[in-house]
């Protein structure tokens, strides 16, 4: 896990190394264990390293002889920088006995796949990755991102050339883009809590899409290719017994390779279905106790899962660790969290995720496994069931209402805020899928990469911790998404197959008990200080651009019933304060807003 960045000029000139250094400085938190730079002709690249696999020889950039070259030659060497993990590197190496690999790095295999397959190389990778490869013979720069978008990658085009980085803020801090807000994407963010598609909230900064491979020549994109994350076609037919056996095989295989690491690892445990599945498999695969970490919210109306999580951990013989997240933590850490979320996702789960990552690092863990993707792949969300129903029976489309609907604070009604979701819905219909699969595929297109996985990446990498998500392994995802609807949803419960598997594998997690959705009591915390907070939020330039000041003050005085709208505006105000206005994120919420 690392940070990567690079430049390619339009006129064959050597890129400015001072610009590359500025991007490296901005990504230093992603890679505290090392720093490597590459410069050749019109390309320069840098990696800041978080050492996970091959601690001694895995420093980047990595090199391999280019096409037709028999040995290493400075003028004919492929060069790679990468962020992520290629989990099937062991198998890829074993399939190439004639290659004299120079390192034990998982990422070196990608270079030889590129030499063999060209831009199709990513089709053979099993992992999470953002990869950049310079080919001096073809005079190209190739970027590739994993199919679910687990690892981030951004780019921008300037008069001088092409630039890429693991985080958008690296492009801003290097002066390669201006912190200019796109009004359309801002409205989408305030309506959805995340943004969709390739365009980010910053004008001129774009995402490499999940599964996308870009080829750049002379500083301009010349070709694109996409690897689909989900299998095509309608649900397959199989019995529950057969599906349970197959699931046991694919989840054990996925968790096993996700544990490939040369440093200590643990897992995030909520006690819910997804994390319980991961813990149950880790128990099976590990001789030593698994380190499981949980967050709870004492003294609030939010459901506190710590007692249940502790019981599940005890049943698995795990080493249990917990944090109690309080209102003081909220007010103290939120500015720093907003600063870490350069590509904004106003998801209140950023708070426990950030604090759990901090705990993991304190405990000496550099890798954690987490349950993101379980709901999307196995049909867990109630919104999927609602969207599949007829309108007469209470069905409604997903995300039919904007977060600020009914808050009466906006100066103008947002236009086109649902266009990205509608585009994803239309794309999902290409394969003759069921209504449930359509909802799942829509979420996998944008909600998953641009909210959940962005949150996980930024909150963990802020502390130099790598997050791994076994449910998004290709074997698990292909199996789970293609399941018959009745094996995902039954008797009004989502993730039916996972529950049935846990009924035998880990009955202590009580898989058929009524699920209480995970929530963070931000509304209660904001309500306690709403009268004081409202005027400060209303006065922020980012809020004043879109909201009526007096209406914002009334909203924050309205109590916890308006918690989601209050939270969205508070997060955006803090985010805008740091990333657009350039204010420091040091201090608590009131310090930063009042400064």
For residue 391, the model assigns a pLDDT of: 66
With contact defined as beta carbons under 8 Å apart, do 237 and 487 qualify? no
pLDDT value of position 305? 85
pLDDT of 68 reads 60
- Note whether 355 and 323 are within 8 A (CB): yes
Q: Regarding predicted confidence, which is higher, 367 or 58?
A: 367
The mean pLDDT of 139-153, rounded to a whole number, is 98
Integer Cα distance of 496 and 492 in angstroms: 9
pLDDT at 393: 59
Q: How far is 544 from 541, CA to CA, in rounded Å? A: 5
The average confidence (pLDDT) of the chain is: 95
Query: What band does 483 get if pLDDT is binned at 50, 70 and 90?
Result: very high
What is the structure's pLDDT at 518? 63
* 227-258 pLDDT tens trace: 999 999 999 999 999 999 999 999 999 999 99
pLDDT in tens, 66-106: 876 555 666 679 999 999 999 999 999 999 999 999 999 99
Which of these ranges, 65-69, 123-127, 192-196, 499-503, has the smallest mean pLDDT?
65-69
pLDDT single digits (tens) 541-558? 999 999 999 999 999 999
pTM, two decimal places: 0.96
pLDDT given for residue 564 in this prediction: 95
| pLDDT bucket at 176, cuts 50 / 70 / 90 | very high
Greater model confidence, 386 or 157: 157
Least confident of 362-371, 424-433, 501-510: 424-433
pLDDT(515) > 70: no
DSSP 8-state assignment for residue 96 = -
> How confident is the model at residue 69, as a pLDDT?
56
Task: Report the sign of the C-alpha dihedral through residues 510, 515, 520, 521, in that order.
Answer: negative
Instruction: Write down the pLDDT at residue 266.
Output: 98
Tokens encoding 495: 């993730």
- Averaged over 216-226, what is the pLDDT? 97
pLDDT at 350: 98
Q: Which domains, and CATH codes, for the chain?
A: 2-226 (3.60.20.10), 240-325+337-400+415-509 (3.40.50.620), 522-594 (no CATH)
Q: Which residues of 372-394 are buried (b: 16+ CB within 10 A; e: fewer)?
A: bbbbbbbbbbebbbbbbeeeeee
- pLDDT for position 74: 60
Percent of the chain with pLDDT over 70: 97
Contact 494, 487 (CB under 8 A): no
Q: What are phi and psi of 314, to 5 degrees?
A: -65, -40
Half-sphere exposure of 269 (CA within 13 A, CB side): 32
Q: Write phi, then psi, for 330 (nearest 5 degrees).
A: -60, -55
560 confidence band (pLDDT: 50, 70, 90): confident
| Confidence tier at 299 by pLDDT (50, 70, 90) | confident
What share of the chain has pLDDT > 90, as a percent? 89
Q: What pLDDT is attached to residue 396?
A: 82
pLDDT at 323 over 80: yes
The DSSP secondary-structure symbol of 590 reads H
Lowest model confidence (mean pLDDT) among 279-293, 360-374, 380-394, 433-447: 380-394
More confident of the two residues 156 and 561: 156
Q: Is residue 121 a contact partner of residue 110, using CB atoms and an 8 Å limit? A: yes
In this predicted structure, what is the pLDDT of residue 549? 97
Concatenating the DSSP letter of every residue in 366-420 gives -EEE--TTHHHHHT--HHHHHHHS-GGGT---TT-S-TTTTT--BSS--SSTTHH
Calculated CA dihedral for residues 388, 394, 400, 405, nearest 10 degrees: -160
What pLDDT is stored for residue 57 in this prediction?
86
| pLDDT at residue number 516 | 62
For residues 366-370, give the mean pLDDT. Answer: 97
């Amino acid at each position: 896990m690392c940070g990567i960045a690079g430049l390619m000029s339009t006129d064959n000139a050597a890129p400015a190394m001072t610009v590359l250094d500025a991007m490296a400085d901005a990504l230093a938190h992603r890679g505290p264990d090392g720093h490597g730079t590459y410069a050749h002709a019109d390309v320069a690249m840098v990696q800041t390293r978080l050492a996970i696999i091959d601690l001694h020889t895995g420093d980047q950039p990595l090199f391999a002889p280019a096409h037709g070259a028999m040995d290493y030659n400075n003028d004919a060497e492929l060069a790679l920088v990468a962020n992520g993990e290629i989990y099937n590197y062991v198998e890829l190496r074993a399939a190439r006995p004639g290659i004299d690999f120079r390192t034990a790095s998982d990422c070196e295999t990608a270079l030889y796949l590129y030499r063999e397959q060209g831009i199709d190389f990513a089709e053979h990778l099993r992992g999470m990755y953002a990869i950049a490869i310079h080919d001096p013979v073809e005079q190209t720069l190739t970027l590739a991102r994993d199919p679910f978008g687990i690892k981030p990658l951004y780019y921008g085009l300037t008069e001088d050339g092409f630039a890429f980085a693991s985080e958008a803020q690296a492009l801003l801090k290097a002066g390669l883009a201006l912190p200019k807000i796109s009004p359309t994407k801002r409205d989408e963010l305030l309506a959805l809590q995340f943004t969709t598609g390739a365009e980010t909230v910053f004008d001129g900064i774009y995402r490499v899409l999940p599964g996308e491979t870009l080829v750049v020549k002379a500083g301009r994109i010349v070709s694109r290719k996409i690897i689909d994350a989900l299998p095509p076609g309608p649900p397959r037919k199989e019995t529950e017994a057969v599906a349970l056996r197959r699931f046991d095989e694919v989840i054990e295989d996925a968790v096993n390779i996700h544990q490939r690491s040369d440093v200590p690892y643990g897992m995030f445990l909520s006690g819910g279905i997804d994390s319980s599945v991961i813990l149950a498999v880790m128990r099976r695969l590990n001789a030593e106790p698994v380190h499981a970490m949980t967050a709870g919210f004492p003294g609030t109306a939010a459901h506190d899962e710590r007692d249940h999580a502790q019981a599940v951990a005890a049943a698995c013989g795990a080493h249990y660790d917990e944090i109690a997240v309080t209102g003081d933590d909220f007010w103290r850490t939120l500015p720093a969290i907003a600063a870490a979320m350069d590509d904004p996702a106003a998801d209140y789960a950023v708070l426990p995720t950030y604090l759990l990552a901090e705990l993991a690092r304190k405990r000496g863990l550099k890798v954690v496994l987490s349950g993101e993707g379980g709901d999307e792949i196995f049909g867990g969300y109630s919104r999927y069931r609602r969207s599949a129903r007829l309108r007469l029976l209470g069905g409604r489309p997903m995300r039919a209402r904007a977060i600020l609907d009914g808050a009466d604070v906006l100066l103008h009604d947002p236009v086109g805020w649902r266009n990205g979701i509608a585009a994803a819905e239309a794309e999902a219909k290409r394969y003759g899928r069921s209504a449930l699969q359509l909802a799942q595929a829509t979420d996998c297109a944008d909600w998953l990469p641009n909210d959940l996985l962005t949150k996980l990446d930024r909150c963990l990498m802020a502390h130099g911790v790598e997050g791994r998500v076994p449910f998004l392994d290709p074997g698990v995802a292909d199996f789970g998404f293609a399941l018959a609807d009745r094996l995902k949803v039954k008797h009004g419960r989502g993730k039916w197959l996972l529950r049935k598997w846990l009924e035998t594998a880990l009955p202590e997690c009580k898989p058929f008990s009524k699920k209480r959705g995970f929530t963070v009591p931000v509304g209660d915390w904001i309500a306690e200080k709403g009268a004081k907070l409202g005027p400060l939020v209303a006065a922020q330039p980012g809020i004043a651009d879109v909201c009526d000041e007096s209406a914002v003050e009334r909203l924050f005085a309205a109590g916890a019933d308006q918690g989601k709208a209050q939270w969205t505006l508070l997060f955006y105000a803090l985010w805008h304060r740091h990333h657009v206005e350039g204010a420091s994120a040091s201090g608590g919420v009131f310090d930063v807003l009042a400064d």
